[in-house]
Copies of this chain bind each other. A is one copy, B any other.
Amino acid sequence: MSNTHIQVREVGLRDGLQSIARTLDTQHKLEWLRAAYDAGVREIEVGSFVPARLLPQLADTAELVDYARTLPGLTTSVLVPNLKGAQAALDSGAHVMLLPLSASHAHSLANLRKTPDAVVEEIGRIRSLRDSSGSACLIEVGMSTAFGCTIQGLVDESEVMRLVQAVLDAGADRVGLADTVGYADPLQVKRLFEKGFAVAGHRLACGHFHDTRGLGLANVFAAWETGIRRFDTCTAGIGGCPHAPGASGNVSTEDVAYLFASMGQPTGLDFDSLIALRARVTGWLEGEAFYGSVWRAGLPKTMQPQAVGTACA
């Protein structure tokens, strides 16, 4: 991971779509995927290898992986809940499998029907499976509810760090910290990511933030300050959390692109293309809740190409 180049992983096709009831048809998903790629996104979480009866919205994940793998330079990421899903991910040829592990015991039991330590054991089995398959698919653990939990409330930071160490010991290639329910504040983000770097070094490789209470971008900035350069984002900020009525979803791709562009940090993303994609996605999903801010006001004059270096009037 470069120390300066910002990497954005578009997760709308998974985290976004799994949170809404309707199913977006495969053709539109493929258009979304392609448009994100054309806008400069170089990692996309295209779906999840969970049973289709649980998440019919994501039943076409293998088809999306097939298409994503045809796009040069694109890292194809899929979510995998267990060993069976890992086998499907390996079969699909995805480049990264994201394994969720809830730092909150209560959330882990509710969401995966396993304790966090049982998930750690499953990660060990997935590592063995990956190694014996000869695949180069990276195993990334997404440490969810790392900043608090809607069921359990507080999640002890030392427990989060114990689990970070445990998943690395079990064979994860890298780990990210996720504010699944939008509880994090920027000071907490700095504290936990600094602790995370002390445990995991460069293997701490992703920040995942929801904008439930308006602090999404402040938390992205705080994580960036600790050295994180890779972030999960979602076009139009769709998603939300079934446990938090009225809550918004992941930080929006457009806003995160704007944040880093305004800070002079290269992302490789084309702002106008992201705004155009947002318009298409919100059209396809009309009636759902959308979030994000910068699409309303557009780029400031100071960031418009024709204005750079000018000082009219």
User: Which A residues fall within an 8 A CB radius of B?
Assistant: 105-106, 109, 148-154, 181-183, 185-188, 211-215, 217-218, 220-222, 244-248, 252, 255, 258-259, 262-264, 292-294, 296-297, 300-302, 307, 309-313
Contacts and interface: CB of A to CB of B under 8 A. Distances in A.
Contacts of A311: 152-154
Contacts of A294: 213-214
A152 B313 contact: yes
A246 B307 contact: no
Nearest to A301: B153
A259 B218 contact: yes
Contact of A302 (B153, B252, B259, B264): B153
26 contacts: A105-B313, A106-B312, A150-B301, A151-B313, A152-B313, A153-B302, A153-B311, A153-B312, A182-B297, A187-B264, A188-B262, A188-B263, A213-B293, A213-B294, A214-B217, A214-B293, A215-B293, A218-B218, A218-B220, A218-B221, A218-B259, A221-B221, A246-B297, A247-B296, A248-B293, A248-B296
Given A153-B311, A213-B255, 19 more contacts: A106-B313, A148-B301, A149-B301, A150-B300, A154-B302, A154-B307, A154-B311, A185-B259, A185-B263, A186-B218, A186-B263, A213-B258, A213-B262, A213-B293, A213-B294, A214-B293, A215-B258, A217-B217, A218-B221
B152 A300 contact: no
A307 B294 CA distance: 35
A155 to B, nearest CB: 8
A309 B153 CA distance: 9
B246 A300 contact: no
Nearest to A258: B213
Closest 6 CB pairs of A and B: A214-B293, A106-B313, A185-B262, A246-B296, A218-B218, A183-B300
B255 A214 contact: yes
B214 A292 contact: yes
A222 B150 CA distance: 28
Contacts of A218: 186, 217-218, 220-221, 259
Contact of A148 (B150, B255, B296, B300): B300
Contacts of A150: 300-301
A231 to B, nearest CB: 13
A241 to B, nearest CB: 9
A263 B186 CA distance: 7
A190 to B, nearest CB: 9
Contacts of A258: 213-215
A297 B247 contact: yes
Given A109-B313, A153-B310, A302-B153, A213 B297 contact: yes
A153 B306 CA distance: 11
A13 to B, nearest CB: 22
Contact of A222 (B211, B212, B221, B302): B221
> By CB atoms of chain B within 10 A, which of A148, A185, A214, A247 has the most?
A214
